[in-house]
Amino acid sequence: SISKWTRNRQTIYTAIVRDMTERKRAEELIHRLAYYDHLTSLPNRALFQDLLKEAIFRGQADKKSVAILLMDLDHFKEINDTLGHHRGDFLIQQVGKQLSHVLRPSDTVARLGGDEFGVLLPLASPDDASLVAQKIMKGLEQPIEIEGLPIAVETSIGISLYPDHGESVDSLIQRADVALYTAKKGGRGYTIYSQEQDQHTPRRLALLGELRQAIEGGQ
């Protein structure tokens, strides 16, 4: 701020400069803690959901599909328990780097928590999503070396697409998760969601509700 005053017929200006650097740094830190994973520096679940919401809006406008891939590492708990959490964290970091390496600049990879990652493919077809899943698995074929010990990384991937499998963030993530479970159970690497896989259909939920009411009513 600048102030003006007069002394002995001379005009004197004084300026007060406020250093905004620390405040800006604090705001950047808060933003980073809210939207980025501290271990991998990748977007976290909150930012992934925000970006997916934006991609859905864009898909609606362009009449294009949007794909998401959910993946986790097979047998990660055994690796973590055997080698320790520190080495498990290192493995997660290396997987995050490898995923970023195989994706296009327009794609987004996020760490959603634990050993779970999400990939967002804006304006992508089922064939695009399948190709990316294959590239991810190919990229992880080479063992990751941890302190001289080569660790084979295996992953399962579930895929869902807007608008075929859902039109909201929650429905797309839930159905990609169903496909992930199917891929993991069948040992198929990656699976695209289909309604036949889903044990949580509206009809099934309605039957469960009716069954609960019947039990409570002694029927």
Identify whether the C-beta of residue 109 lies closer than 8 Å to the C-beta of residue 118: yes
Residues 89, 115, 127, 170: which is the catalytic one?
115
Residue carrying structure tokens 């896989």: 197
Q: Which two tokens stand for residue 9?
A: 């017929």
Please name the residue that has the structure tokens 């499998």: 165
Q: Is 115 a catalytic residue?
A: yes
DSSP string of 61-129, one letter each residue: HHT--EEEEEEEETTHHHHHHHH-HHHHHHHHHHHHHHHHHHS-TT-EEEEEETTEEEEEETT--HHHH
- Report which residue type is found at 46: A
**Which residues are part of the catalytic machinery?**
115
